[in-house]
Amino acid sequence: MTAELLSFESLGVHLGGREILSPTSFTVSRGEFVCIIGPSGCGKTTLLRAAAGFVAPSSGCVRRNGEVVKQPSREVAFVFQDYGRALLPWRTVANNVSLALEAAGVPKAERPARIQKVLQTVGLTEHAGKFPIQLSGGMQQRVQIARCLAQQPDVIMMDEPFGALDAMTREALQDEVSRLVREQGLTVLFVTHDLEEAIYLSDRVIALRTGPTPDKPSLAAMVNVPIARPRNQLLTKEQPEFLRLRRELYGFLGHH
């Protein structure tokens, strides 16, 4: 971890006359993988969308590289849970990835090489000419991740991206994302409701609570994950430290 990339400064959000997120403050360093957990309705997705510039804060702000976030930016890539709706069904895999390059104004002649590179990175080179309907759910989500990588962002924000996938596919993509983070030095803000996923992926877990009050604000806990990388789906989850963190976070969620 080196420079601070994101700074949440007393960020608060009200929607429909209700406080979704009470003033919340924390920072994310460049190259850090931070997972956000909490009960349904606690504001996880709202926090992520505010950080991406999709939702305007009611109080406070989010800064990226020292600048206040006021609108979406190409420096931030967003991976949605609903990969089916995130991809254009009439475009091939390569052309879906090309969307990010077209939006960024990358010259047409430069696009094929960049598309090939990111598809190779996520293991989809042989599927470049296929349409989304011809791919499994896991492959479709890889296409969305590839499109984000093509964007060459400062930070990738992921909103429960593996929640709709089966267990084996989810674990495979967890390892894929972990590899990409290490190899490319990515900064990731990742929302999940899965405790084991949060611990397995992150350097730090941030826990939010539902129904914030003045004496119990949204930000309930920040827990460091001092487990060495690379991690293993079986061996890592059997480590005493992993089990201790799971008990700690499960106790928090169970209480709330």
Q: Which of 194, 191, 199 is nearest to 241 (CA)?
A: 199
CA distances (Å), origin 52, targets 34, 77, 173, 229, 244: 15, 8, 23, 28, 32
Segment 25-53 shows an average pLDDT of 93
- Residue boundaries of the structural domains of the chain: 1-75+187-256
Residue 1 has pLDDT above 50, yes or no: no
Res 254: pLDDT:
58
Beta strand 219-224 pairing with 59-64: unpaired
pLDDT more than 90, % of the chain: 68
Res 119: pLDDT:
94
Q: Which fold has domain 1-75+187-256?
A: Rossmann fold (3.40.50)
For residues 187 and 140, the answer to whether their CB atoms sit within 8 Å is: no
Query: Strand, helix or coil at 248?
Result: helix
C-alpha dihedral over 226, 229, 233, 236, to 10 degrees? -40
Angle at 4 between CA 214 and CA 233, to 5 degrees: 85
Q: What is the 3-state secondary structure (H, E, C) of 88-155?
A: CCCCCHHHHHHHHHHHCCCCHHHHHHHHHHHHHHCCCHHHCCCCHHHCCHHHHHHHHHHHHHHCCCCE
Query: How many Cα neighbours within 13 Å face the side chain of 36?
Result: 28
What pLDDT digit, counting tens, does each position of 97-156 carry?
999 999 888 999 999 999 999 999 889 999 999 999 999 999 999 999 999 999 889 899
Euclidean distance between the first and the last CA atom of the chain, given in angstroms as a whole number: 31
Write the DSSP symbol of residue 193: S
88 against 219, higher pLDDT: 88
pTM for the structure as a whole: 0.91
Q: Is 89 exposed, middle or buried (0-12, 13-18, 19+ CB in 10 A)?
A: exposed
The C-alpha atoms of residue 134 and residue 90 are separated, in whole angstroms, by: 12
The C-alpha atoms of residue 239 and residue 205 are separated, in whole angstroms, by: 18
What pLDDT digit, counting tens, does each position of 142-183 carry?
999 999 999 889 899 999 998 888 898 889 999 999 998 888
Distance, C-alpha 101 to centroid of its chain: 21
Res 251: pLDDT:
77
Residue 213 has pLDDT above 80, yes or no: no
Res 90: pLDDT:
95
Res 255: pLDDT:
56
Beta strand 204-208 pairing with 33-37: parallel
Res 2: pLDDT:
57
- Taking only Cα atoms into account, the Rg of the chain, rounded to an integer number of angstroms, comes to 18
